[in-house]
Every structure is written in C-alpha cells, then in structure tokens.
Structure 1
Amino acid sequence: MIFHKIIVMEFKVTINQNQDSKRAVDVLIDEFGISAQMQKRIRLYGNLWINDKPGRMIDIVHTGDRIVAHSSKNSSELLPVKTNHVPGVEVLFEDDHLIVLNKPSDLVVHPTMSHPANTLLDLLSDKKLHPVTRLDRETSGALIIAKHAHAHYRIVQNPIRRVYWALTHGHWTRQQGVIDQPIRRFPNSIMVRVVDQTGKSAITNYRVIYSFQEQCFDWVEFALETGRTHQIRVHSLYCGHPLLGDGLYGISNYCEFDQQTNFNILAIDPNLNFLNFHENSIAKDAYEIKRNIENKSKQNNLDSANLLEINPQRVGPEYQNDFKSLINEQQLILDRIIKRQALHSRLIGFTHPITKKYMEFKTKLPADIMTFLDYIE
C-alpha cells in the first residue's frame, strides 16, 4: 500500500462590512464553507493569523482585518499540487483544486485489496488525492478528483450531474423511464449488490438512444439521481437488460454448460466475416473464436444449456421471461467480443468548490466501443 502526503490547505480573506464583528471561524465558514473537520484541523494542527499576528478561531474580527489560516503547521506541503502526465488518460480540466479526467477502461482508480498499487491516483501524484466520483476498473469516461479534502467536501455539498452511455442486452419495452429500486449489498458478498426493499434509495433515469434490431441490443443513456455502488449495472439487470460484457451482472452468470460445451468454442455463423477486423484486438479475438469452432457441431450450442434459478432480487419477477429469452448464443458472443462491460461516463457536471461556478464536461465513446459498434453496423 502506498502512503500519500496530505496537502495543507491555506485560506485567506479580508473582512468586509457584512462580516464586521463576526468570529473568525464564522467568516471562514461563510467565505469558504469549511467543514467541522477542517475547523478542528486548523484549531488542533494548523495555525490562524489575524493581521499577521497569531489568532484564535473564536476571535472577533472587523472590517479590513486579514485572516490567514492553515490546516497544518507544515507549510512545505501547501498547494498547488502538480499532477503527473498519465499516458492514455485525457485531462479535461485542471486547476489548483481539482482535476477532471477521461479515464480509459482497464485502469483502477484507487487502491483496493486486489489492486494496492499502480492505480490512477498513484500515477497522478504522491500527494493524497480525493476521488469525488468513482468508476469501476472496466468503466471508461469522465470523473472528478479533488486535490485536497476541502475541495472534495465542497463539491459533494452540491448536486453532481452524472450521465452514462451503455450497451444493454435486448430491447427495452419503454424508450425512456425511471428505475426506482433500492439497492443493498448481497448477503455474504463483498462485491455483489442487489435490489432489496431494505436497501438504500437508488434512482436511475434511462433513455434508449438507438436499437440494434438484428443483433438485439440497445444503446442506452443513463442519468443517475443517486450514486450507489454498481447502480446502473444492478438496475439494468433487474429490468432484464444487463450490460454487454458485464462479468458480474451479465447473462453468462445464468448459464450452465456440460463438459462438451465451452463458451470459448460456441458455434458462430460461418457467414459472419470477422476478417474485416484483422487490425484490432477485438477483431483478433472474434477471429480466434471463429477459427476455434469451425469444426464444431451446431449441436454444441445453448440448446443444451440449463438456466440457473434466477434470484428475483437480481432480475425482477416481471422481467424474468424476457431476460431468459436473452440467454442465447448470439448474446453471449457479443459479450465475448466486446471483452469488458460496455459502460462509459459520458458527462459530469458540478459546482466548482472555490469559484462556485457550474462546470460540465462531456466525453466521446472510447475507441473499443466505437470499433465494436462500427462492426455491428
């Protein structure tokens, strides 16, 4: 585990007439919105100066007075924090307080038990950074990282707009709607979440952007009103339309095969021309699948697969028949070709922690999903 240096915050303000005769701490709250934790940090570990003289948080200040407060006495770690260039990671915005990035897939954001090092935060800086929005390893797109605790605190005090694009199995009956189903951790599981009426409120708005009729999947836009772990993935599965390529909430988790039927050698229509994709990894994988099954019988397909019992917390009872119809060879092949969960953070919008201006950033679909869609089209 890598230990990061903590950034020292500095707050400077000159007292105006409206702030006359207030306590120093009240001025800092009005001006910067500092949290109770930051107040405590300044009081116990930092310092406060009023007109260049040591002061206290409870001291009364007057018009024209100047306050300077530090969250630590170690001034060597003051802002700004300079972040490193990380290959493949696009910087959408950066200042002294935060950085907005376009994360590629297959990159862990913050240290975990299974990935304690070489995460995005490690690569960006040896200072302690604060992810405001988090993306799974396989999810690409926009995310916000605060450079200090105060920026993190201030950003989350206001609504954050989060819009995602995803590819989902099957066709949604309604072209747009709201999924309002609470989510909780599945018993005895660290990772898995399920819909449960005893869980925390979770609300997802969705809109179908385009339906790929022949291949039976939809391009869907999701807008989050809440931010539960795996919310889009859990809600999509619950509605019977899991994300393409999702290894945790996808359709492949609901099949059993006998020893003669292996997912890697499922029969593929020989008329499909995978050779058009010889120049990229998706094409090569698709070509390998085709080559491996050329001599396999069409009898070795999902006709011999048995559907596992489906937990109604994972797929809603009213959606289970439609969901079971998606457990077929065509859909599993799509999962195999795309290689990762087809989820992308399209847009992030938030209020800047210092300037208090609303900011919004959009990202394009990443190359791997674009390549997949170009082939399908």
Structure 2
Amino acid sequence: MTEFHQVQFLIVDPDYDGQRVDNYLLARLKGVPKSRIYRLLRKGEVRVNKGRVKPEYKLCAGDSVRVPPIRLAEAGDTVPVGPDLAAKLEAAILHEDDLVLAINKPAGVAVHGGSGVQVGLIEALRQMRPQCKFLELVHRLDRETSGVILVAKKRASLKALQAQFREKSEQMTLAGIKKTYWALVDGEWPADRTVVDEPLLRTELPTGDRVVRVSAQGKPSKTLFKRLALLRGASWVEATPVTGRTHQIRVHARIAGCPLLGDDKYGDDGVNAKHKVNGLRRLCLHAARLQVEYPGSGEVMVFEAPMPADMQQLVDALRCS
C-alpha cells in the first residue's frame, strides 16, 4: 500500500461519459472499501468541477474529479484470483461475445472488492480475461444473491445496457428489460397475491449500508409475484420487479407477510434459525432470467440461470409429502 499525500485530479475520458461517479471511483481506487468511498462523497471530499456531487451523479467527458489524499493499493498489491474461484466462475459463464459476458454469479461472491472483500467478481474476471481492455459491471446483485449478471466488454455496450436499466428503475412498465427472480419465502404465499405496489424509500446509514422501507415519500415501486410451489412452512415464488428499486423484492415480500428465507435484514431471525437444519445458509434469492435488448441490434436476448444447488436442496427438504 502507498500513501498519497496530495490531492489528485482525474480528467474523465470520453469512454466514461455517463458513468456514475461512485462506479468511476470504485474502479479506480483499488483497495479502498466501498463504505469509505461513499463517505468521501457524502462529506464532499470528492468533488466534480469544484462542486459537491451525490453518488448517482453522471460524469461527462472532460469533468475534473478531485480525489483527496487517500491510501491506495499499488498495482503489485492486487490479490490474485484463486484457481478454485477462477474455475467456478469460468464454469458459470452463460454467454460471451465481443460485447457482453453473462455469468451465473454464485452466492457469496461480491460483485466487486472492498469492505473486507479482497477479490470480487469484476476483479476476478479482469484477471481471467487479461486480453480485454474494458470490462465493467452493467448492474449489480447483492453478495448473497445468485444468478444472472451482465458485464460489458465495450464502453458502447455498457452505456446502451445501463440506459435500459435506468429506464427500468424509473418507469412502471415491463417493456424492454425484464428480470425474473426465484425466491423461497416464509409461510404460505397466497395464490391470489400477484402484485405488491408500495412506494419505497432508501436510507443510507453512516456505515454506507442501505436500508429500505415503505414510505409515502418513497419512489413508486411495483413487483409481480407468482406462487410456484407450496412447501412445508414455506413457499417458492417467482418475482418480477416492474421497477428497479434497491432491495425491492425483499421489502415487498416482507410487507406481504412472507419474508425471504435467509434474509438477515428484512427477514425473521427465528424462522431463519429454524431452517438451518434444512440446509439454509444464505439469502434465498436467485436471478433466474434476464431479458435485454442486445446493444446495437435491438434484438431481444434472454439469459437463464438454473436453480442453484443449495436452494434446490432446501426446496427438496421442504417438499410437502
């Protein structure tokens, strides 16, 4: 690690026009915990064109980003991806071409390093694909959520795909991008409960952690649900978020009376403890299917990830006789 004693000014390259400032910093401040970066933004120590900005600020080509003195990792300090993780990720690739890479992210793998995580998904993929000059996450999944995630291999494809995700976040429509999740929830999900339409408000704690709750001051949020199977004391449901809010499925399932199994933030600790004997080890949420318009062509592409073994084992253990 090296100590930088002077303020740095980074000029945004045209390739990064439109990228969020938090993502821009995460890609450049290797070894700095995510929570530290958000704290620097919140306190105004990071500035763009001499002004304070929020994490979601979209950078423009030529912007001057002021970065305060901060402890950074040297290139030689990069933690190599282990052979076991590399083999697991290689086997999990669902599709790869010149523009995009789709991978079935295993549960427990963070999408990027920081906050105690030495090597995240994107750092591992960059080591596994040294010939690729550009590799960036299109979107994110929580560390304990498994399933389909997209990585862009060109700046143009990143911008085109992220535009679809931004539209998804703000519009109450299923047009274009469509995400389908499988979840295991506590209790009997009512067969006639097919939609939860409640506004959600996200609050960021001083630690950088995010908490979401239902609030009239929140953003419109809508999730479609379908019960796939009744289990012993639980249900297997399909969730299709119409909007794209943080922790949307988890919060909407909780207010429907059926929190996700293994959810240590919005779930029931007693229920989770009880199901550990059945093999519950993590948040039971899996991104099973992702539909997008392929960059440039507009062709609809669908990526699917099968039910992970740990969730399938729990389903089998809870099958009603």
Aligned to 1:22: none
Distance 1:359 1:224 in 2: 18
Return closer, same or farther for 1:234/1:112 CA change in 2, 3 Å cut-off. Answer: farther
Q: Read off the aligned partner of 2:226 and give its amino acid letter.
A: R
- 1:349 corresponds to 2:309: no
Aligned to 2:187: 170
Q: Identity rate of aligned residues, in percent?
A: 32
Shift of 1:369: 1.0
Q: Read off the aligned partner of 1:136 and give its amino acid letter.
A: D
Distance 1:147 1:201 in 2: 32
Contact in 2 for aligned 1:185/1:192 (Cα 8 Å): yes
- 1:106 corresponds to 2:47: no
Contact in 2 for aligned 1:7/1:128 (Cα 8 Å): no
1:322-363 Cα deviation digits (max 9, x unpaired): xxxxx66xx641156311011101100101112321100111
Q: How does 1:54-69 map to 2 (within 5 A)?
A: none
- 1:161 corresponds to 2:162: no
Contact in 2 for aligned 1:97/1:146 (Cα 8 Å): yes
1:192 to 211, 217, 236: 211
Contact in 2 for aligned 1:7/1:148 (Cα 8 Å): no
Distance 1:341 1:195 in 2: 21
Return closer, same or farther for 1:168/1:107 CA change in 2, 3 Å cut-off. Answer: same
Aligned to 2:99: 97
Structure with higher Rg: it is 1
Distance 1:217 1:363 in 2: 22
Distance 1:335 1:194 in 2: 27
- 1:140 corresponds to 2:146: yes
Return closer, same or farther for 1:181/1:356 CA change in 2, 3 Å cut-off. Answer: same
1:97-138 Cα deviation digits (max 9, x unpaired): 2111001111001234343x3000000005553222311111
Give the aligned CA root-mean-square deviation in angstroms. 2.8
Gaps of 5+ in 2: 2-11, 16-57, 63-82, 128-132, 165-175
Report the secondary structure of 1:153's partner residue: helix
Q: Read off the aligned partner of 2:275 and give its amino acid letter.
A: L
1:239-286 Cα deviation digits (max 9, x unpaired): 11100111111111xxxxxxxxxxxxxxxxxxxxxxxxxxxxxxxxxx
Structure 1 ranges of 4+ moved more than 6 A: 6-9
Return closer, same or farther for 1:109/1:342 CA change in 2, 3 Å cut-off. Answer: same
Return closer, same or farther for 1:375/1:172 CA change in 2, 3 Å cut-off. Answer: closer
Report the secondary structure of 1:339's partner residue: coil
Report the secondary structure of 1:236's partner residue: helix
Distance 2:276 2:252 in 1: 18
Aligned to 1:119: 120
Contact in 2 for aligned 1:244/1:335 (Cα 8 Å): no
Q: How does 1:259-338 map to 2 (within 5 A)?
A: 332-335=273-276, 337-338=279-280
Aligned to 2:316: 374
Q: Which moved more, 1:366-375 or 1:135-144?
A: 366-375
Q: Read off the aligned partner of 1:334 and give its amino acid letter.
A: H
